[in-house]
Amino acid sequence: MSATLHETPTRPSSPRPPRRRPVALVVAGAVLVAAIGAGAALALGGRSADRSDQPAAAAAQPAADQATTAAAPTPASRGTATGQRNQDSGQEQSSTPSGSPKREGVTTLTDGRYDAYVRKVDPDRDLIVVDLVQVFTGKAAVRAALEDGMDRSAAEVRDTYVRNQNDRLRTLEMACGVRLNLIGSCESTGQEALFTKLIKDATYGQGQLFYYTLGVQGGVVQRIDEHQAQPAC
């Protein structure tokens, strides 16, 4: 008896759902491309902003430099009140205005007028040694004398008062034809006689009877005017 083999019927295979991985990859790739594009745009924008700021910064820098230059103080001339000159106002230079080095031991003052006692004169070498002072006249002379401890009775009759705060001596160069205007001299007096009188007058009253106004030009004393600092008696 033949056995009949019953084949187990197989179920038809159900259709597989379509794969979504490629779609997901495509979407992820698109997002990545968009992100890269956005980053590149931001980077370019940042570079453009930096470049646009550079001209402004460069323009601001000269303006700041100019403001600094304008704010820098410039050397001011040391003016003094009427009847008073500062004995330390003489600004010294390392060379003469012509650019040549100054003589050894000689002080070169800036151009101007200086009041001083004369301590020594050397006409042969065109040198003069001075002690710069302050000069007060009128009511300022009375106030200065009182401030320095002078008796009121003596101070109130002073029309001129000379204040000497220090004894520093300066050796200055005189011009070859320096002009000497001395009390009691005349235009016909020769240069040698004038120097003789200057040396003599400078010693009167322990060197304080007369003071002198020095006119400096080109770093050299061009003129010397004699003044009486106190009554002769």
Average pLDDT of the residues in 2-13: 47
CB atoms within 10 A of CB 211: 24
Average pLDDT of the residues in 20-41: 51
CB atoms within 10 A of CB 230: 16
Average pLDDT of the residues in 210-224: 97
Give the confidence band of 218 by pLDDT, cuts at 50, 70, 90.
Answer: very high
Handedness of CA 190, 117, 89, 134 (dihedral sign): negative
Helix (H) or strand (E) holding 69: helix 21-71
Whether 59 shows a pLDDT value over 50: the answer reads no
* pLDDT score at 230: 78
User: Which span out of 3-17, 99-113, 128-142 was modeled with the highest average pLDDT?
Assistant: 128-142
Q: Which residue has the higher pLDDT, 63 or 193?
A: 193
Whether 33 shows a pLDDT value over 70: the answer reads no
Q: What Cα–Cα distance (Å) separates residue 93 from each residue in 64, 129, 171?
A: 33, 17, 13
CB atoms within 10 A of CB 37: 10
Average pLDDT of the residues in 176-193: 94
* Plot region of 219 (φ>0 → left; ψ -120 to 50 → alpha; else → beta): left
Q: What percent of the chain has pLDDT above 90?
A: 50
* pLDDT score at 91: 60
* Contact (CB, 8 A) for 117 and 130: yes
Q: Which residue has the higher pLDDT, 79 or 87?
A: 87
* pLDDT score at 103: 75
Whether 37 shows a pLDDT value over 80: the answer reads no
pTM greater than 0.75 (yes/no): no
Whether 83 shows a pLDDT value over 60: the answer reads no
Whether 133 shows a pLDDT value over 80: the answer reads yes
Residue 140 CA to residue 135 CA, distance in Å, equals 9
Residue position matching structure tokens 């300022």: 140
* Six-digit token string for 205: 């009253």
Give the confidence band of 2 by pLDDT, cuts at 50, 70, 90.
Answer: very low
Give the confidence band of 130 by pLDDT, cuts at 50, 70, 90.
Answer: very high
Outline where DSSP puts E strands in the chain.
Answer: 92-93, 108-109, 112-122, 127-132, 134-137, 160-163, 170-181, 210-217, 220-228
Q: What is the mean pLDDT of the chain?
A: 74
* Six-digit token string for 132: 């710069």
